[in-house]
Structure 1
């Protein structure tokens, strides 16, 4: 479903004339439909960690505290998926992202050691202790890109700029989001449409991606399942 068909479906639900074109239109209502679509897409990216937006980032360490900007490491970087940064060379995790007070405490009292920490400050990735150059670091993050401008089924932009462009987000949610946002900016009643939208977001987010089994006795302290032999326990 393209930007054009999203706006056409939203217009039909609202009860206005469906546009033949969006980005080239000078009609105020069509311009507002496009603005609502972009606003909805950006809001969804911030609202939930949709699995379609999760990517793996990679970085080769530099022998300095600052490893460069996050956008130079991953151009579509939105935010970290917590507890996913590991040094694949040393097989050790990085703890973070640390807060400002945690980071300053670490700098003051920890001069070295085998425990790694990281912080994001001013868009820069900071590491402590200073890593050895050339080590491989991997992590997962949420991409800020949700629009496919090239037709390759992969998001490469953070806003619509053409009628034929599509989104990797759930299209029904984008349409419902456009509907209530359009009604709101027009000063029309939108509460019922907003409640329907909220309910559908909850449903989709609840089904999105794989979900872990909840254990009544509490989770394992280990990240992975316990490693035990298949048999011969008495041997």
Structure 2
């Protein structure tokens, strides 16, 4: 495994590039430029973590699966603490083998819940709305479950870095030894232009270079699917046709 740079080492590299005096620590350092580095690291990586592609998919390293079991009579369910956004088309009932319908809009939800004529659906419905306590988001299902069933979703996490042991995930820099989940050089490029901008220096070329590299890596993140112009071969048959004797006929 390639050795990774921690956030302090990334900040030192940026300090060297922009001609700033060296720093001996990052988190807790009272010097203004060190404090600015922490703020800009958090801002930049949070911004990158919010990138979305097709079907609202985020970076692969931030994509999580969450499986939970419904409770009879309970309509709402808490998301994981690091939940940021749902990946479209990933809500499934693993007991009925059906994809859930949603997320419903407020209009659709009220039509189901408040309409004179009851709306029925073969697939379960779901909506993302405020939780009962009013402190955050929750996953609501309809109809209200009458039995325990296994549901699964995929979502994008807001935790984009870990501690040095790679066991504790976080959404903000907490120690010099923290490691981001993004490529080190990409974080370094982002921090460089942001720091130069914060100091009133020219940053246009650094920003353009960063955005080009970021977009290129995001587009390739998770691989690129082959798009065929002609008919797609039947699954499992590629390379399975002999040179001769096909169907008992010698060519």
**Bin for the TM-score computed over the shorter chain:** 0.7 to 0.9
Equivalent residue number for residue 154 of structure 2: 140
Tell me if structure 1 keeps the 8 A contact 2:75–2:145: no
Q: Distance in 1 between matches of 2:128 and 2:230?
A: 35
- What is the alpha-carbon distance in structure 2 between the residues aligned to residue 173 and residue 214 of structure 1? 29
CA RMSD of aligned residues (A): 2.5
Matches within 5 A, 1:56-67: 56-64=65-73, 66-67=75-76
**1:127 is the counterpart of 2:122:** no
TM-score calculated relative to the size of structure 2: 0.80
Distance 2:49 2:176 in 1: 21
Q: Which runs of 5+ in 2 are unaligned?
A: 53-57, 131-136, 242-246
Q: Using the alignment, how far apart are the partners of 1:15 and 1:67 within structure 2? A: 53
Deviation at 1:133? 3.0
Greater shift, 80-89 or 17-26, is seen at: 17-26
Bigger Rg, which one: 2
**What is the CA–CA distance in structure 1 between the aligned matches of 2:20 and 2:13, rounded to whole Å?**
10
**Aligned residue in 2 for 1:118:** 126
Q: In structure 1, what is the Cα distance between the partners aligned to 2:118 and 2:205? A: 55
Aligned to 1:193: 206
Question: With structure 1 as the length reference, what TM-score do the two structures score?
Answer: 0.86
Distance in 1, Cα, partners of 2:189 & 2:168: 21
Q: Gapped runs of 5+ residues in structure 1? A: 220-224
- Give the superposition deviation at 1:86: 0.6
Number of matched pairs: 223
- Which residue of structure 1 aligns with residue 8 of structure 2? 4
Q: Among residues 87, 91, 99, which one is paired with 1:85 in the alignment?
A: 91
Distance in 1 (alpha carbons) for counterparts of 2:14 and 2:20: 9
Question: Deviation at 1:217?
Answer: 6.8
